[in-house]
Amino acid sequence: MDETGTPASHVLYRAGAAGRARAARAAGVYIYDTDGRRYLDGSSGPLAANLGHGVPEILAAIEAQLRRITFAHGSTFGTDAQERAADLAIAFAPAGHTRVFFVSGGSEATETAIKLARQYWVDARRPGKYKIISKRASYHGATLGALSLSGFAARRAPYAPLLLPFPQIPEVHCRRCPFGLTYGRCRIECATALEEAVRREGADTVAAFIAEPVSGAANAAVVPPPEYFPIVREICDRHDILFIADEVMTGFGRTGENFAIDHWKVIPDIIVCAKGLGAGYVPVGAVIAHERIGGQILSASGQFIHGHTYAGNPLAC
């Protein structure tokens, strides 16, 4: 504050502004502040800038799109940019995925996946299926629906009265097993806990199970054992439950495969992605759906009943 009580910055920062360096430019793996100091961007921000800063080919593509068209509302127009981006996303996705819905980031993508799963079951004339099971020590986004799915106590606490009571199962963590067991002498209880939750809630009420293939913000970089996701997929199939893979942090090559779930040779019904999709250049996320999902919605309702002003923005795509 100055002597008049005016704040030094009018920005409502997500953390305290005192001592915050001010980024001025970036190139490659480095960010430079206004005082000329250089910082190694060792984590690509929050695992977003996968391709590095200031890549000339990317800047040229953005400039070219700026000169063509920067906005067209999705309720009225499609664009070549969105069609090309969807084709590329599908080429990157596991077999059977045929539909893409673009949004502005990861939290929006999770919200979109929630609604997509819900509409799928409504269109299938099974409206009783609405619950989405998630894991403790997980993070799926900051918006209320996404935060309701997240098992991140510190981020949930201020908003607890507003959150939906989605069921959760114990997290995967072989080094700190929530069941007090040792891998190799257990029955992968972290996976079979899903079966117990489905039976407790009633399979006719459960729409989907969502999980990060490799945990991110709430339980850093914990990799499930090889058996985990095949067991999850089998349980979901047997009880007619959708499997949503949250690939916001892990998607687009971050773990060495196109999507991290590919390491387990398991095909999800819905993929949630962001961060690496835009590589830090544009705010973009997406939901990639299997034809089972997108095809049924288009044949039953004729449209996905959802949308945002900037969904499918041609500049972001």
| 105, pLDDT greater than 90 | yes
For residue 292, being part of any structural domain is answered with: yes
Quote the tokens at residue 154.
Answer: 């510190």
Query: What confidence category does residue 1 fall into, taking pLDDT thresholds of 50, 70 and 90?
Result: low
Diameter over CA atoms, the chain:
67
Domain count along the chain: 2
Regarding whether 230 and 172 lie in a shared domain, the answer is yes
For residue 312, being part of any structural domain is answered with: no
Regarding whether 62 and 28 lie in a shared domain, the answer is no
| 109, pLDDT greater than 90 | yes
For residue 308, being part of any structural domain is answered with: no
**Percent of the chain at pLDDT exceeding 90:** 90
For residue 313, being part of any structural domain is answered with: no
What pTM, to 2 d.p., does this model score? Answer: 0.95
For residue 71, being part of any structural domain is answered with: yes
Regarding whether 226 and 181 lie in a shared domain, the answer is yes
Residue 13 has a pLDDT of 84
Q: Domain limits at 144?
A: 56-300
DSSP string, the chain: --TTS--S-----SS--TT---EEEEEBTEEEETT--EEE-TTHHHHT-TT-B--HHHHHHHHHHHHH-S---TTT---HHHHHHHHHHHHHSPTTEEEEEEESSHHHHHHHHHHHHHHHHHHTT-TT--EEEEESS----SSHHHHHH---HHHHGGGGGGS----EEPPP-STT-TTS--TTSS--HHHHHHHHHHHHH-GGGEEEEEE-SS--TTSTTPPPPTTHHHHHHHHHHHHT-EEEEE-TTTTTTTTSSSSGGGGGT---SEEEE-GGGTTTTS--EEEEEEHHHHHHHHHHTSS-S---TTTT-TTT-
Mean pLDDT of the chain: 95
For residue 220, being part of any structural domain is answered with: yes
Q: pLDDT tens digits, residue range 49-93?
A: 999 999 999 999 999 999 999 999 999 999 999 999 999 999 999
